A and B are shown apart, each in its own frame.
Chain A
């Protein structure tokens, strides 16, 4: 241990006289820096005292086990910042460290005062910059600093009525320096992300450390979230008693989509994408199954620029055309207002103290590292003369911090030239040596640099004031690095004088996520995604069953004496091209084998990973409509698919297929058990049974009519893939017979695998879908199903008798199967037309045309 720094040792009272307990005994914080746990003297910081006993009791091993439990819970929730669509790509889930970051009550108080001051300051600044621009006229800000920033959006000029808040939510990234001061590294003003993750980390840690969490004297998050909800509701201009609040997300392709779904659920908001909304009559409307429904407030998680293709980025498909005009005419309120990115400009930092005095009449509380905005000549010369000693960043939102000292001389000269060419686009900062915190890594506690994101929201009770979230998101990484790239995050505990009671809201979220908004106000897009979730899920199931059967046959063959003829027809059923003829039975077998196993490959157009990717994409898009357990199963499925080798052995492949089939059954079973049987569930069910119907009809036609090698083995496959072997044996107690198979799989309305049953089910589900017109006629989709159903009911079973020997019977069956399939093939489009008809993606009118001389 290093020698104690006497000044710090005096400043922090030595409460912990005893030697460090075992869990922390080996923890060696870096010398000379600031550590969250250890004083420079080597003793533990006194504010850890209330928790030391409990953590000590756990010990290193116990903590490790809890860390594993945390990871398991995270995986179940499917937490990931980096939600790629490809089923097999590695998803980078982060780790939540089992040790929270502790902040004392007093320190938090000071921080909160500083943070809410900062939010007030930036709100006033934004209002001024999009209004009178006093701060520019009075020379408090150089014009180029504002005008050159990509976040300053001219269309937002005067877009908000006076005294409406621009900055409803404010996020601040902080780093503690070696003196223990928190320094502001960045302001998040457009759509600060991470509050949902903070909430989730808290819930997960509370579950992994139940007794420790329950007894710990720490501030709970629920009251902040309650304030958030109240503030959003208060923004409404219309329907103030019961406003509709929606969370606008860029969609499942976004890095933070999980968080959006999580927050929307927690705060009971409609999760919507740009395409779900339309501006009409100056108001914003949500397209639902029941028609258009007004939205009064939008919590927007889409960047400023992308929100309105009419006035902002014309190429954006994430926004809503006319949104800014709807804001101007106060038809809708946004949190945050459009244009707030202008306050994320790091070039503002050196000017904030003066701005704070001018706009608020107060001294700025939170310090930032020394910063130079290169747009001023003196600053530019200073920066260029000291390029190796400073950190550099572009003022563009989200630009990374550069350390020019790491650059080769030529690169550094190039950077200097770039700065000189556009000096107003760069800032330089004094490097910060970050404080460290203990992080469980490699089985022991190690000191790691930490950043902290805090959140403020407009106080719903005191106008013009802000309230801080007593907690936040802490992450391991170099200062100025993005949270999104971090591999380890920490929960943030703000200590309170005594343990605080649980608030029910937080507990509620432990249980299954309550599915709401599933009636007529279900967004059409969600209905669409649920329908396809059903279809692709069923398609995956059908393929997995056929492939499992084929691999089973393959494994049963004697390699030297290959004689099973069903493989060829199974390839057809799986839509695979038969392999080129090979010499000898062994060669043929190997060719079949590799053709079948190619379905495990990622690049196969209807291979398992591709089909699963569709399942996952549609699943993610309706994340807030699936129960937690269903979601957990979907995650397990993803792990199964991800774990598949590109070309597995036939035995391994067969085993995995078994798992996939079971998990799919679990998934749909849970959906049936937990989703309210409203429209959303119905669309999923229709998707499933439509897909299954088509697959069953195709399989029957293949096995009984078009097969190259018809007969017993193929009939067995039909029964096995539909899992009807047992039912058949019990009922007919006989050899396989085509007429009996038809009876079981075509006509028996009591057998869930039969065409008759499925048609009945589709009819019932379609009858219960919303109808747009009051006309007494059946909808197109109902007519199609009715057509198929009557074809089946009117079929003359006698003509199908003696199928094996009568060409006439075979022709009659072929005709029947085709007559059943034809209307069903049109059903999908008919449903889409009646229910999912979202307007086409909006397009830009190319009005720009050059004139004459």
Chain B
């Protein structure tokens, strides 16, 4: 699939801002199944400094500083992306999950060693016996890893309610678990927490999902949104993406922006400013399929 993606963020401050430094992870990654065309970046007021680099995870980071006094900051990134299906997974080779837990610590091969970063606690996701206990029914002894992971993906979709009013960024994982509700980001964190608590490696992925309007209705501009899912490391195979919010394996509709240990590593836009007072925020995302 080919998409034209537009991601706009608009901050309005109650007071003047004299200086702000920002970091945006809004440029999609290039991957074997995802090819990005040129991006158009519009920032107003015009930043005095603009620099792109690649971070620890290989994500594309845009740093910019606005040095003129302003009360509104607008950031719009437009990118064309071609997404192909992910490589097909050969189910036959999936070892029992306990074997995978052992292997990930022992395989001397490079990708496995790098994956060990994602076994550990991270700022938004801490391993926890309660998370392990929740995951346990999907992971009976000897069950093949892939089967267990897909079962967990399905259970979270089934047992948790999507509720954009319940959680904020600061809602701790155990509250999400107790109340069985949240948004895509919570479900991704929760699943990562479950897997890590069992000794598996999992990472957070931010991106976009093409949404289809109800049959017969036109698609509204700006109605799409950013999305979050995760990937689990299968020793000997690599990373398998799963989307617990939709109980599916991400496919051509999932456009990958960035990945990291958790949301904190891939926040689309963060910044520190001097002055400004209170602010309001508007975000608009369009994922427009191209012929």
Contacts and interface: CB of A to CB of B under 8 A. Distances in A.
Contact of A322 (B11, B65, B228): B65
B167 A850 contact: yes
Interface string A120-149: 000000000000000011010001100110
Contacts of B48: 280-281
B22 interface: yes
B65 A845 contact: no
Interface stretch (A490-498, A721-729, A802-810, A836-844): A836-844
A852 B184 contact: yes
A329 B19 CA distance: 18
B156 interface: no
B19 A278 contact: yes
Interface in B252-291: 263, 265, 267-276, 279, 281, 283, 285
B23 A311 contact: yes
Interface string A303-334: 00000011100100000011001001100000
Interface in B137-168: 162, 164, 167-168
Interface string A812-840: 00000000000000000000000000011
Contacts of B285: 851
A852 B225 contact: yes
A613 B204 CA distance: 49
B232 to A, nearest CB: 17
B212 interface: no
A282 interface: yes
A279 B49 CA distance: 11
A144 B120 contact: yes
Contacts of A842: 272-274
A137 to B, nearest CB: 6
Contacts of B164: 850, 852
Given A143-B117, A310-B270, A325-B51, A847 B281 contact: yes
Interface in A635-684: none
B117 A310 contact: no
A157 B55 contact: yes
A845 B53 CA distance: 21
B275 A839 contact: yes
Mostly, the A contact residues are loop
Contact of B108 (A139, A845, A850, A853): A139
B185 A847 contact: no
Contacts of B20: 845
Given A279-B21, A310-B272, A851 B65 contact: no
A851 B183 contact: yes
A282 B49 contact: yes
A845 B22 contact: yes
Contacts of B116: 143-144, 147
Interface size class of A (residues with CB under 8 A): 35 or more
A232 to B, nearest CB: 25
Contacts of A321: 21, 272, 274
Contacts of B167: 850
B276 A843 contact: yes
Interface string B209-222: 10100000000000
Given A144-B119, A321-B21, A279 B273 contact: no
B276 A143 contact: no
A613 B53 CA distance: 48
Contacts of B224: 852
B103 to A, nearest CB: 14
B239 interface: no
B272 A329 contact: no
A845 B272 contact: yes
A850 B167 CA distance: 9
Given A144-B116, A310-B272, A853-B227, A329 B51 contact: yes
A851 B272 contact: no
A650 B211 CA distance: 81
Contact of B281 (A136, A281, A849, A851): A849
A294 B116 CA distance: 42
B90 interface: no
Contacts of A328: 51, 53
Contacts, number: 140
Among A139, A310, A842, A852, the most chain B Cβ lie within 10 Å of the Cβ of A852
B227 A852 contact: yes
Contacts of A154: 55-57, 265
B114 interface: yes
A848 interface: yes
A847 B270 contact: yes
Given A137-B113, A852-B227, A310 B274 contact: no
A210 interface: no
A156 to B, nearest CB: 9
Given A143-B113, A148-B120, A845-B272, A853 B184 contact: yes
Contacts of B117: 143, 147
A69 B91 CA distance: 81
A424 interface: yes
Contact of B269 (A157, A282, A422, A847): A847
B114 A310 contact: no
Interface in B51-96: 51, 53, 55-57, 63, 65, 67
B274 A839 contact: yes
Contacts of B55: 154-155, 157
Interface string B165-191: 001110000000000000111100000
Contacts of B273: 842-843, 845
Nearest to B187: A853
Contacts of A849: 169, 281, 283
Contacts of A424: 120
B226 interface: yes
Contact of B67 (A157, A280, A847, A850): A280
A851 B185 contact: yes
A487 B112 CA distance: 49
Contacts of A322: 21, 65, 272
Nearest to A137: B110
B284 to A, nearest CB: 12
A328 B51 CA distance: 10
Nearest to A144: B116
B18 interface: yes
B225 to A, nearest CB: 4
Given A144-B116, A321-B21, A839-B19, A845 B56 contact: no
Q: Which of A139, A325, A839 has the most CB of B within 10 A?
A: A325
Most A CB contacts (10 A, CB to CB) among B18, B55, B116 go to B116
A851 B224 CA distance: 9
Contacts of B183: 850-853
B39 interface: no
Contacts of B269: 845, 847
B9 interface: yes
B245 interface: yes
User: Which of A137, A314, A840, A853 counts the most B-chain CB atoms under 10 A from its CB?
Assistant: A853
Contacts of B51: 325, 328-329
B167 to A, nearest CB: 7
A841 B272 CA distance: 10
A814 B120 CA distance: 73
12 contacts: A137-B113, A143-B116, A155-B56, A325-B65, A424-B120, A847-B281, A848-B263, A850-B168, A851-B226, A851-B285, A852-B224, A853-B184
Interface of B: 9, 11, 18-23, 48-49, 51, 53, 55-57, 63, 65, 67, 108, 110, 113-114, 116-117, 119-121, 162, 164, 167-169, 183-186, 209, 211, 224-228, 245-246, 263, 265, 267-276, 279, 281, 283, 285
Interface of A: 136-137, 139, 143-144, 147-148, 154-155, 157-158, 278-282, 309-311, 314, 321-322, 325, 328-329, 422, 424, 839-853
Given A847-B281, A850-B184, 7 more contacts: A148-B120, A314-B272, A322-B272, A839-B275, A845-B273, A852-B183, A852-B225
Closest 9 CB pairs of A and B: A852-B225, A851-B226, A322-B21, A845-B271, A839-B274, A321-B272, A157-B56, A143-B116, A847-B269
